[in-house]
Amino acid sequence: MPALTVTDDGFLLHGKPFRIISGALHYFRTHPDQWADRLRKARLLGLNTVETYLPWNLHQPAPGALDLDGLLDLPRFLELAQAEGLRVVLRPGPYICAEWEGGGLPSWLTADPNIRLRSADPRFTGAVDAYFDLLLPPLAPFMAASGGPVIAVQVENEYGAYGDDTAYLAHLADALHKRGVEELLFTCDQADKEKLAAGSLPGVLATGTFGSRVEDSLQVLRAHQESGPLMCTEFWIGWFDHWGEPHHVRAPEDAAAALDALLSAGTSVNLYMFHGGTNFGFTNGANHDHTYTPGVTSYDYDAVLTECGDPSPKYAAFRDVIARHATVPDEPVPEPSPKLPPTEVALTASANFLVCAEFLSPAEHFTDPPTMERLGQAFGFVLYGTELPALGDHVLHFTGGVGDRAQVFVNGAPAGVVERERNEDSLHVRIPEYGARLDVLVENLGRANYGAHIGDAKGITGPVTLDGRPLEDWTCHGVPLNDLPTLPFRTTDTPVAGPSFHRGTFTVDTPADAYLALPGWTKGLAWLNGFNLGRYWSRGPQRRLYVPAPVLRAGANELTLLELHAATSRVAWLMDEPDLGWTVRH
């Protein structure tokens, strides 16, 4: 019997009335050494529960594998939550959305165009079953039935916005039960009649996702499910950002008033997000409605805790609201974390990306350019090369487009950029000689995390033609950059144009949170002591990258940048304040 059960209008936990007052905290978006701090701040807010997704694509980077280390050490996160006295709601997907790369679906799975994703297709459910076979046994001790903190587990995620395959949902629920999950199962969908009908499963609690119009949303949810507890599984208190768009914010008083309305109605709630964190590395997702729009590195979300874990103005406002409806610890609001004083970092050594291709990965040869998935690669870049059998002005055409951003070079000189985001697929090139070298560097800017484009391919996704004639005989270097390679850096004090790695060292007395500022730099990635902080882009809105204190060391530290274009400076700065860009009220 599950520890958490339902009555006509509420929950019972071990037979006693219990209202879930939860906050979303994604362990994989927060440095592990900071988990305990974030969980403590959740308890001090008055939360009794935390909620988290589980990213399938990271936990299972290849079939048959399971990664539970570092950022992915979910058992440790659950231990820390229980030690703080918090219950846990798990949302294992298999699809999670979360503005996360591919919605959490692994690229080795979506690479098969014949698989019907998020359906009862045996090829899809078989992969899910194999993943659950590996994932669930290590989590069994943390289920409430075994004395652990996990009191509820979600079946899929907002499925009604995607499909209506009830057999698929039933398979997932059965898969959880067969592998020993006794805890309460639930679904969640947007507070919409049709979506709730398509995404619900008989006998499984249906919950809603919304951020405003509380009374109307609860009425829709109650009309769909005549009895049982009302729960807003995602109470959207902020929003996410895309490159080239404003930073979204929501007034604390507006969000607090909506939270008060929810709690006054007796509803259980999960704040989305309590703490957003960061899309470290290549993990941001993308949306694709009318056009493709990749997410930024920050997942600050205008949440209760900021990206660095400091209480935002929403913290005090929400704490006051929660205190009207539940017991809040009689302890002060947490103080902001210490910040590193402004620190200059001179990047004194460089290595040209195109010249160093053989250091990055061995060359593979293909008649036609392969997709990133065909190379067995999930993240990063692919460098394609061939010879151009012409002279003068010509039109280079990517017949399938690119996934997602291609920088084109002729004999090493920049010839232009082709962007999926701008629906581009062609480029004028001037060829100086017969047999000139064509290089195309394609970046995966993040797989779609929502809608019909989930599972989109990356790299060059079709034949490439020159004035309509196919180009063949390609060499390819897959560049996932899972780890920084050993490169032939050379010391220089002049700006370097074109894709290049840049390296510099600096010293720190006492590690503390910081923000990496890159004025004069254009676009690329940053590593600090080998830890991938994520992407930067002068397009904005985000102007600085969060640097978690545990990434820094007392003494010598090393910063490495991969600048994809050019920089007017050879200096970076570690600053004591964030800069998420210009804002818009959401």
3-class DSSP assignment, residue 219: helix
Enzyme catalytic residues: 158, 234
Give DSSP secondary structure letters for 534-548: EEEETT-S--EEEE-
Q: Read off the amino acid at residue 237.
A: I
Residue pLDDT tens, the chain, 586 long: 899 999 999 999 999 999 999 999 999 999 999 999 999 999 999 999 999 999 999 999 999 999 999 999 999 999 999 999 999 999 999 999 999 999 999 999 999 999 999 999 999 999 999 999 999 999 999 999 999 999 999 999 999 999 999 999 999 999 999 999 999 999 999 999 999 999 999 999 999 999 999 999 999 999 999 999 999 999 999 999 999 999 999 999 999 999 999 999 999 999 999 999 999 999 999 999 889 999 999 999 999 999 999 999 999 999 999 999 999 999 999 999 999 999 999 999 999 999 999 899 999 999 999 999 999 999 999 999 999 999 999 999 999 999 999 999 999 999 999 999 999 999 999 999 999 999 999 999 999 999 999 999 999 999 999 999 999 999 999 999 999 989 999 998 887 788 999 999 999 999 999 999 999 999 999 999 999 999 999 999 999 999 999 999 999 999 999 999 999 999 999 999 999 998 877 5
The tally of CA atoms less than 13 A away on the side-chain side of residue 237 is 34
Entry pTM: 0.97
Which DSSP state fits 139?
A: H
DSSP letter for each residue of 439-508: EEEEE----B-SSTTTT---EE-S-EEETTEEP--EEEEEE--SSPPP---EE--S---SSEEEEEEEEE
The residue count of the chain comes to 586
Q: Encode burial over 65-91: b for 16+ CB neighbours within 10 A, e otherwise.
A: ebeeeebbbbebbbbbbbebebbbbbb
Region at 60 (left for phi over 0; alpha for psi -120 to 50; beta for the rest): beta
CA 464 to chain centre: 31
Do residues 222 and 230 touch, judged by C-beta distance below 8 A? yes
Nearest CA among 422, 136, 157 for reference residue 294? 422
Neighbouring C-alpha atoms within 13 Å toward the C-beta of 462: 11
Cis bond before residue 94 (omega within 30° of 0): yes
Handedness of CA 90, 95, 100, 101 (dihedral sign): positive
